[in-house]
Amino acid sequence: METYVRINDGEFDTLMKKFALKTKDLNKPMRSISTIMKREVLKNFTSQGRPEKWKKLSRNYLKYKLRKKSTNRNRILEFHGRLKQSINSRSDGTMAAVFTGEKYGVFHQTGTGRLPARPFMPDDKHPDMPPFNVDCINKFREILLGHLLG
């Protein structure tokens, strides 16, 4: 059995039409969310890991960085800075994303036999790290609600 309720209220109808239009075009809030996501991933580099700090560089690798005149001698995951510089964002009316185009990023993210994992983006093992921690999710909610109700 189905029950239908009809609300005969012009103000309510106007509000529902406005809401329907707002949900069809989420480009602006998704762009804002993807910008925040990118900024938060870049903060993961600046903080050298969040919420857990990355494992320190080995003494041998630090010596190697000095010999090769790395531009970022004491920065983890920043030999020349290409990985950090490759962090980008994308959005449309249905999604917001942050990503890297550097193929070697996955090895730093997940680790290898010789290389410890230094996650810089959320993944299955680190789902709550910025930009998907509670504070960021609350910002995303505010952006979407502001768009829908504004």
Question: What does each of the 150 residues of the chain score in pLDDT, given as a tens digit?
Answer: 666 666 667 777 777 777 777 788 899 999 999 999 999 999 999 999 999 999 999 999 888 888 887 777 788 998 888 999 999 999 998 899 999 999 999 999 999 988 999 999 998 898 889 998 999 999 999 999 898 887
Q: For residue 89, what are its two tokens?
A: 């964002």
Candidates 132, 118, 120, 82; CA nearest to 102 is 82
Asked if residue 34 lies in contact with residue 131, where contact means CB atoms within 8 angstroms, the answer is no
Distance CA 8, CA 17 (A): 14
Distance CA 128, CA 119 (A): 12
Asked if residue 30 lies in contact with residue 92, where contact means CB atoms within 8 angstroms, the answer is yes
Asked if residue 84 lies in contact with residue 77, where contact means CB atoms within 8 angstroms, the answer is yes
Determine if the pTM surpasses 0.85.
Answer: no
Residue-level pLDDT at 143: 94
